[in-house]
Chain A
Amino acid sequence: GQNIDQPTEMTATEGAIVQINCTYQTSGFNGLFWYQQHAGEAPTFLSYNVLDGLEEKGRFSSFLSRSKGYSYLLLKELQMKDSASYLCAVQDSNYQLIWGAGTKLIIKP
């Protein structure tokens, strides 16, 4: 079967760095996505990785290792507005997104 695992909840301090991990087992692989979702809102796109390595975009970076079926989202200089759920999703061989359950990130002052 297809499976995406990520922690249910994480807590971090404003100004700090946090890493959210995601492991996956899917039928084929056509890229891994990270989305941010604030409560009551639709997801917004953060990053896309299809090759191994680190993609940096401002305060957010995403890493992929296809051989390990592993990715992480790194958030630096945390701000209170970063409190949200972070969803990991893998695009399978049919270009369908398989979603993780999401990681709720709580930022404390």
Chain B
Amino acid sequence: GAVVSQHPSRVICKSGTSVKIECRSLDFQATTMFWYRQFPKQSLMLMATSNEGSKATYEQGVEKDKFLINHASLTLSTLTVTSAHPEDSSFYICSARKLEGAYEQYFGPGTRLTVT
């Protein structure tokens, strides 16, 4: 298989604090990982693409200083939401791709972030 895990699955934090979300590929090495955000009743919005050992590529309109992405190894990427605000409350989903050009992205189960 190709299993991707995310931790935590749900997190509630206070406004102004930072939250770290982990994305792990459990049984394969992921050269590329993607971070998505999804608001209720809307489709997935790509936030950034990260390749192991290099800086993430952020989509237009996504603040890289607010959403810190670290892809430190071939099996782990982290997304840190810094100084979170209620408008950052969303469903954050990561996905991983095995090889350059390989066609399928394997999705993690998602993290529900609620900022109070």
Contact = CB atoms under 8 A, between A and B. Distances in A.
A97 B42 contact: no
B106 to A, nearest CB: 8
B44 interface: yes
Interface string A77-103: 000000000010001000111011110
Given A96-B49, A97-B46, A42 B103 contact: no
B30 interface: no
Nearest to A35: B107
Contact of B105 (A30, A50, A97): A97
B4 to A, nearest CB: 9
A13 interface: no
A37 to B, nearest CB: 9
Interface in B70-112: 91, 93, 97, 100-101, 103-110, 112
B103 A50 contact: yes
Contact of A42 (B45, B46, B104, B110): B110
Interface string A24-55: 00000011010000001111110010100000
A48 B103 contact: yes
A96 B103 contact: no
A102 B39 CA distance: 13
A95 B112 CA distance: 27
18 contacts: A30-B101, A31-B103, A33-B104, A41-B110, A42-B108, A42-B109, A43-B93, A44-B107, A45-B104, A45-B106, A50-B103, A87-B43, A91-B103, A95-B101, A96-B49, A99-B44, A99-B46, A101-B42
A96 B46 contact: yes
A40 B38 CA distance: 10
Nearest to B49: A96
Nearest to B93: A42
A83 to B, nearest CB: 15
B34 to A, nearest CB: 8
A102 B46 CA distance: 15
